[in-house]
Structure 1
Amino acid sequence: MQRLTTLMAALALTACPQDSGDETGGTDTSGASTPMTTTTSATSDDSTTATTSASTTTDTTGPTTGETTGETTDETAGTSTTEDPTAGVCALPPLTEEIVNTLGFNVFGQSYEAKPGESLDLSVGSIECCYIKMPVDACVTYSVSPAEGATINAAGALFIAADVEPGTVFTVTADVEDGRKVLTTEVFVYTPESNPFVGIWHEVAQLPCGGGAEVAPEMAIQELWFRASGEVQVTWFPFEIYFDYWSDYAYDLQTGDLEITPTGGNYVPADVEGAGTFKIEGNQLVLEDMWLGSPQNGMTPANCGHRFER
């Protein structure tokens, strides 16, 4: 019985170490904690067998406290192990201020679109002059809101659930080096049924006013780029990140009404007539009773419709 009492006292001391508090006498609980569970059973010869189990929770969002980590000794094995206080902590060196100033999600600085069930690479990169995105090794924490319907991993890969409703908008945040720079972008979910316009179209013909056979454009619009965000860009001669003008658009799938309203640009034609109707014919988009404007230095009169193809 004397041996049992002595051993139980020793086990109690081992399982209850002294607090490793700060200078004020408080206890730092922000780091990893190791709860211990000790079960003692007596054998027939009055000796005891002690079984100790431990579960460790590691904080991967920042460095752990020095008092709760370091060298630990396994008395039964006669060996010692050392816990890494930086486990789960980003150890990459800070970016230069020059690189931080160039960080972005994409070259165009625009929102994204995706269909239900798709994934997107939303990793942050360095946008070099003026249309090249270069990868960077940096400490970045990604998050997505709302959390239901989408997840994003540590590499910036966004996964959208297959049952997400068209029209849902997710906001993705990239926190660079714990607040040194915070970037956000939006992802608009759509389907071809809910928005048949999304994508890039090029002009193949024009509809003359008063009817008659379609005619070839004097200068074709090379990019009519509809975005799921509700914005469309019109460009006759695309070059790098140049657009002639950009607009908001609204449509009604039941009536076929379409309205394109210019909101700014490098060249906004004075003769834009943005209200009309649309038809989808296979891989072609026909705009009727509307005119997206004459090109710069154009010589022919305005027409009253366009045929685009993608």
Structure 2
Amino acid sequence: MQRLTTLMAALALSACPQDSGDETGGTETSDQTTSTSETSDGSASTTTSAATTTTTETTGPTTGPTTGETTEATAGTSTTEDPTEGVCALPPLPEETVNALGFNVFGQTYEAKPGEMLDLSVGAIECCYIKQMVEACVTYSVSPAEGATINAVGALTIAGDVAPGTVFTVTADVEAGRKVLTTEVFVYTPESNPFVGIWHEVAQLPCGGGAEVAPEMAIQELWFRASGEAQVTWFPFEIYFDYWSDYTYDLQTGDLTITPTGGNYVPADVEGRARSRSRAINLSSRTCGSARRRTG
């Protein structure tokens, strides 16, 4: 039976670029032994390296190159030049660890506002939503180099004057080509894209008017990404989504279109049209479709 109601989704978690479970967050680092260069395509790269020095006195703590742990660094009154300087001395990773490396558990893109910092360090993704940090020889780079920098531990900083809509590509080169990972970072502002974040359904309105009623089965996650992708989930569980889609919007009219592209459960009655206003989205009776009926 067709539902004669209109969904209204209210903002639950504004601008939630988790990890996008998304794994975004600031990372503060101190000086390390690194080498930085500019590649032929204009990207900037930084390599974590290990170097040895002859030392006679101790200075303050410094941050380790991959784990973020604090260790005691030494600085000498006399040093000898090391031919291995700039070369990572960490042992090779086991093959199973290399196969499990990734940026985040969702395997998705990132989003950031101008001036923000993201932790884009790679780790071993364990079943099915746990990221374990690893110590490895990894060279991080970002392209274009103008407007963003990335350090030796994968902390990406977006300049404050970067225009919304800019897309950066981050590359992690593990052990000199043994595995190369890439991901994209989409820059946005709430003014350029007010939908980014996780929304949920809070009420239903009768089409003929009347008081709001609680949804029988509410959409718990309507997750809009700055990349133009969205996921719809009635009953979230770990990294499960009911279906995923593309979306387009018109800032002037507030019109929003959701177009499913695949999923675990794609309702047959998805219409995908909606209109936004203030901190709410008014959905037509079948914008996102009907929830899958549970039995038992």
TM over 0.5: yes
Cα distance, 1:279 vs structure 2: 1.4
Change (3 A) 1:268 1:83: same
Matching residue of 2:7: none
1:288 shift after superposition: 4.5
1:149 matched to 2:156: no
- Equivalent position amino acid for 2:119 in 1: D
1:67-216 maps to which residues of 2 (within 5 A)?
82-216=80-214
The CA deviation string for residues 180-208 of structure 1, in whole angstroms up to 9 with x for no partner, is: 00000000000000001101111111233
Aligned to 1:5: none
Residue 97 of structure 2: SS of its match in structure 1?
A: helix
More helix by percentage: 1
Aligned counterpart in structure 2 of residue 239 of structure 1, from 233, 237, 247: 237
- The one-letter code matched in structure 2 to 1:164 is V
Q: Which residue of 2 aligns with 1:7?
A: none
What's 1:19 paired with? Answer: none
Output the CA distance in 2 between the equivalents of 1:150 and 1:81. Answer: 34
Q: Scaled by the length of structure 2, what TM-score is found?
A: 0.71
Q: 1:81 to 1:285 in 2, by over 3 A?
A: closer
Question: What letter matches 2:232 in structure 1?
Answer: V
Give deviations 1:27-66, integer Å, cap 9, x for gaps. Answer: xxxxxxxxxxxxxxxxxxxxxxxxxxxxxxxxx8999xxx
What is the identity, as a one-letter code, of the residue corresponding to 1:199? Answer: G
CA distance in 1, matches of 2:252, 2:79: 70
The 1-side partners of 2:163 and 2:134 are apart by 33
Deviation at 1:296, TM superposition (A): 0.9
* Conserved? CA contact 2:48–2:139, under 8 Å: no
Match of 1:292 in 2: 288
Question: Counterpart of 1:178 in 2: which secondary structure?
Answer: coil
Q: Any unmatched runs of 5+ in structure 2?
A: 1-46, 51-77
Contact residue 139 and residue 172 of structure 2 kept, 8 A: yes
Supply the RMSD in Å over aligned alpha carbons: 2.2
Gaps of 5+ in 1: 1-59, 64-79, 300-310
SS at match of 1:175: strand
CA contact (8 A) 2:114 2:163 kept: yes
Q: Aligned residue pairs: how many?
A: 223
Task: Quote the Cα distance in structure 2 between the aligned partners of 1:218 and 1:81.
Answer: 72
CA shift in 2, pair 1:296/1:82, >3 Å: same
State the partner residue of 2:276. Answer: 278
Deviates more, 1:287-296 or 1:223-232: 287-296
Query: Is the alpha carbon distance of 1:272 and 1:207 closer, same or farther for their aligned partners in structure 2, counting shifts above 3 Å?
Result: farther
Highest RCO, 1 vs 2 (Cα 8 Å, sep ≥ 6): 2
Does structure 2 retain, via aligned residues, the 8 Å contact 1:278–1:288?
A: no
What amino acid sits opposite 1:250 in the alignment? T
Partner amino acid, structure 2, of 1:226: F
Contact 1:280 1:286 in 2 (8 A): no
Q: Counterpart amino acid of 2:283?
A: L
Q: Distance in 2 between matches of 1:256 and 1:287?
A: 12
CA contact (8 A) 1:277 1:289 kept: no
Q: Relative to structure 1, is the Cα distance of residues 197 and 118 closer, same or farther in structure 2, using a 3 angstrom cutoff? A: same
